[in-house]
Amino acid sequence: MKKGILNGIAAYALWGFFPIYWKFLHQVPALQVIGHRISWSFILLIIIIFLTRQWKDFRSAALTPKIIGIYAIASVLLTINWLVYVWGVNAGFIVETSLGYFINPLLSVLLGVIFLRERLRPAQWIPVGIAAVGVIYLTVVYGRLPWIALSLAFSFGFYGFVKKLAPLGSLYGLTLETGIVFPIALIYLFIVQFNGTGAFLHESSLTTTLLIGAGAVTTIPLLMFASAAKQIPLSVVGLLQYIAPTIQFLIGVFLYKEPFDQSHFIGFGIVWVALIIFWVENYLSHRVPVEPIPEMGEG
């Protein structure tokens, strides 16, 4: 349980700093960036599997119609999430992308309670309710339907739900997900390379290096997330996800000077109050010793 929480925190912290990485690729179309993310991630994962001599195990565990069907859904959701996020960041909507990941944990909690029958302690419903108020307030502040935020929230929320139900481990699962869309991504990249619109090897050496590096920066936190999703309740995963959008929001406001006024401050303040209540409640609940329930015949 503790290892799962640490993996979750590390994954969301890394995701929080993603805008800086993608901003270095602002001159590259988002679809090309996603093509390289998928391709280099799959290549890196396959190398890991071969170097650790797990190919036979991977093939027998993953390459069945039922398993491929489950992970095809996950791969589509993940691709949509990546595309919307990279486009949003490089179009100057880092703050709105962060809103999407503030909404996402609430959806994860809802999915966990409704579909997986996970239970929250009564005191845990208080921060969930407060956080909902904060997210609704931030949505109203925008004065329009925040489609970027909603797309990110729903795509990643359902991705987490599918990962919770999926049978493979984090390494095999992510390899299969990227492998399913790898042929499409590779064909697309070959097309843009041959028609002269591809950025790979045609831009600066830094751009080419960053496109290749997209595999590593994508794979590491996703493996951590997949591992966390298997080890801890989906409702806890959902609440941990506030780490990433908070970092993203601060980067958008202070590093890239996106708008931040009093109304934004109030909304984010409400959400942080909810998080403080959640962590205090969680800490106290684990400190209080639980009396063992006597077995039949005792006493």
**158 within a domain of the structure (yes/no):** yes
Residue 110 has pLDDT above 80, yes or no: no
**294 within a domain of the structure (yes/no):** no
pLDDT at position 227:
78
The number of folded domains in the chain is: 1
- Domain membership of residue 64 as a residue range: 2-286
How far apart are alpha carbons 57 and 65 in whole angstroms?
16
Least trusted range by pLDDT, from 16-20, 32-36, 47-51, 262-266: 262-266
Residue 191 has pLDDT above 70, yes or no: yes
**291 within a domain of the structure (yes/no):** no
Can you give the pTM of this predicted structure? 0.82
Terminal CA-CA length for the chain: 32
pLDDT tens-place string over residues 75-94: 999 999 999 999 999 999 99
pLDDT at position 149:
87
Nearest Cα neighbor of 256 from 18, 20, 16 is 20
Q: Judging by beta carbons within 10 Å of its beta carbon (0-12, 13-18, 19+), is residue 110 exposed, middle or buried?
A: middle
pLDDT tens-place string over residues 31-48: 999 999 999 999 999 999
pLDDT at position 298:
40
Residue 240 has pLDDT above 90, yes or no: no
pLDDT tens-place string over residues 158-185: 888 888 788 888 789 989 999 999 999 9
Alpha helices in the chain (DSSP H): 2-16, 18-23, 30-51, 55-62, 65-90, 94-115, 125-142, 147-165, 170-194, 205-231, 234-240, 243-250, 262-287
Tokens of 108: 């994860």
Nearest Cα neighbor of 94 from 219, 246, 196, 201 is 246
DSSP 252: I
**124 within a domain of the structure (yes/no):** yes
DSSP 123: G
Please enumerate in sequence order all residues whose Cβ is within 8 A of that of 172, keeping only pairs 6 or more positions apart, or say none. Answer: 49, 58, 61, 62
**216 within a domain of the structure (yes/no):** yes
Q: Which of 77-91, 123-137, 213-227 has the highest mean pLDDT?
A: 77-91
**227 within a domain of the structure (yes/no):** yes
**103 within a domain of the structure (yes/no):** yes
pLDDT at position 222:
81
Average pLDDT over residues 55-62: 93
**296 within a domain of the structure (yes/no):** no
pLDDT at position 299:
43
Please enumerate in sequence order all residues whose Cβ is within 8 A of that of 110, keeping only pairs 6 or more positions apart, or say none. Answer: none
pLDDT tens-place string over residues 282-297: 677 766 444 333 333 3
Report residue 234's pLDDT band, with 50, 70 and 90 as the boundaries: low
How far apart are alpha carbons 202 and 239 in whole angstroms?
42
User: In the block, which residue shows the tokens 């805008």?
Assistant: 19
Least trusted range by pLDDT, from 127-131, 142-146, 251-255, 292-296: 292-296
How far apart are alpha carbons 191 and 193 in whole angstroms?
5
